[in-house]
Structure 1
Amino acid sequence: MKQNYSVPIQGMRLWYEYDENPKAKDTILLLHGFLSSSFSFRKLIPLLKEDYSVITVDWPPFGKSQRPKRFIYSYENIAKTIIQFLQMMSFESIHIIGHSMGGQLALHMMKQNPNYIERSVLLSCSSYIERAKKKYIAASFLPFSSHLIKRWLEKTGVEGNLHQVVYQPQLIDDEMIVGYTEPFTNKAIFRGLVKFLRHREADLSSEILRTISTPCLLIWGEKDRVVPVEVGKRLASDLQNSEFIVLKETGHLIPEEKPEEVMEFIQKFLR
């Protein structure tokens, strides 16, 4: 049974969905990517919930979660907040599926609490991205910086961004456009993005990645123009306990483009 909630934690309200399967032994946490929300897993969740309990979090500053001024929007703190939330909900251990930047968050969670995360599936996981340049961090302190980010995003628009992340443009329909547009109807997201730009550290280095022993399944789109396959191969090399799979004729938005194929690989990996 699917239920939507928001829970107070670290001075904010964290929004999540919970599809509890009373027969399931395992719980899967879904973490969406940059400029996205739980909506991006809409095709994967119905498949997962047949065998697992599924919890989906809108991690700040995205989706329906609050964007408090005093919250630290770093990977380290967001990962810490999500772990605290899961433990508060009395989940003893969990599997993670992270897409794009959600995959980077998953890696941080594995680094922070390696015994808590049993297995992780990384879908086109963002990796090896440096911290924002100092001039952009400095610009984030300008009083009108949120308006600048808003204008930058409006240059391509939601539909333009979707064309960048999917390989087959015919997948883009009205429901998809509306779903990915909804989070940006709240102006607070642009103030949150300013803080995220300011606080986000560089992605985990190869040296740190090599210390992560959690079993990881890496699934990549052959035609990914956002995080190319070469990045996935490098990540698979750095993670000591990983498998690497490439899906043909697939772009960056794997949960939308190939949910059935992804589900098959997830089932084999978790079982």
Structure 2
Amino acid sequence: MKKNAYTKTMITLAGAKVYCEYFLNEKPPILLLHGFVSSTYTFNRLIPLLQKNFSVIAIDLIGFGRSEKSTTFIYSYANYARLVAECIDYFQLKNVTIAGHSMGGQIALYTTRIIPQKINKLILLASSSYLGKVRKSLIYSSYLPLFHLIAKRKIQKQGVKQTLTNALYDPSFITSELLEEYGRPLEEGNFYKSLVRLLRHREGDLKPEQLQTIHTPALLIWGEKDNVVPLHVGRRLVKDLPNAKLITYEKAGHLITEERPKEIYEQILSFVLKT
């Protein structure tokens, strides 16, 4: 593994090819986890700032971004957590800070439950929380041979631009590059098959009594205009996590890493290195 050079590569985790970007030095490690139908690009404005004070690792979760769209991987949060734990071992990391956006926040919570001794701090950016398992009728339907085409039609009907408009407070952040990066994975053939497997296997978010067992210090960061995971979710989550605090930003939406990268960086810096 290269050190002191920003590296983009594929590594093998959980038996699949996983896209990874990393910058390793002797500074504290931070692992970045993106959300649903997203990728490491979620952190494109944050990573250059983090590199000043951290060793940074970001991965595309199996099924998303440039990673393999596996049709054998069990797309449960527990399995994703094991994937993240394997990634931590791969890079031989200790005292890791995990920063997860949206669904990545829920995976960060799952990971912390299985390897609490390796996680130093949690950063939860508009973290998915309190969602239950998909209803059984939809799970049964997911076994239909062409069900992935229904998922494809639904996602493509909404469109990348509309999705991003809903995720941002300020639509001026939508650039051609942003549209390209979020749209590219949607063109891959197996993307929708892996998406259906996630629909089928996702066991639901951690329940309050499970959250209450996570004592790792956690910083929750939310946009007050989040239309995807509303602020009331963050206010509930900060009460269920025993050692957590919540920071909010007005005039910011769900994709807060795009709209407020400098502020997030400063909060992470203060939370991880100065507390």
TM-score norm. by structure 2 comes to 0.96
Matched residue, 1:62: 64
Offset of 1:40 from its aligned partner?
A: 1.0
Percent of matched pairs sharing the same residue? 42
Match status 1:214 vs 2:216 = yes
Q: Secondary structure at the match of 2:117?
A: coil
Q: Distance in 2 between matches of 1:93 and 1:64?
A: 27
2-side partners of 1:32 and 1:2: how far apart? 19
Asked if 1 retains the 8 angstrom alpha-carbon contact of 2:70 and 2:190, the reply is: no
Q: Does 1:25 align with 2:24?
A: no
Note the alpha carbon deviations across 1:51-102, whole angstroms, 9 max, x for none. Answer: 1110001012111111222211000011101101221221123111100000
1:242 aligns with 2:244: yes
Contact kept? 2:62, 2:70, Cα under 8 Å: no
1:1-271 alignment runs, 5 A limit? 1-20=5-24, 22=25, 24-271=26-273
How many residue pairs are counted as aligned between the two chains?
Answer: 269
Alpha-carbon distance between aligned partners in 1 of 2:87 and 2:272, rounded to the nearest angstrom: 23
Aligned equivalents of 2:15 and 2:53: distance in 1?
34
**Following TM superposition, by how much is the alpha carbon of 1:4 offset from its aligned partner in structure 2, in angstroms?**
1.3
Contact map agreement 1:100 1:124 (CA 8 A) in 2 = yes
- Which amino acid counterpart does residue 18 of structure 1 have in structure 2? Y
In 2: Cα distance, 1:181 partner to 1:154 partner: 10
- Give the counterpart letter for 1:141 in structure 2: Y
Would you say the 8 A contact 1:11–1:68 is kept in 2?
no
Asked if the contact 1:40/1:255 (under 8 Å) is kept, the reply is yes
What stretches of structure 2 of length at least 5 have no aligned partner? none
Q: Distance in 2 between matches of 1:181 and 1:33?
A: 15
Shift of 1:103: 0.2
Please tell me the root mean square deviation across aligned C-alpha atoms, in Å.
Answer: 0.9
Distance 2:57 2:9 in 1: 11
Q: Give distance in 1, aligned partners of 2:189 and 2:96.
A: 33
How much does 1:14 deviate? Answer: 1.5
What SS class does the counterpart of residue 127 from structure 1 fall into? Answer: coil
Per the normalisation by structure 1, the TM-score is 0.97
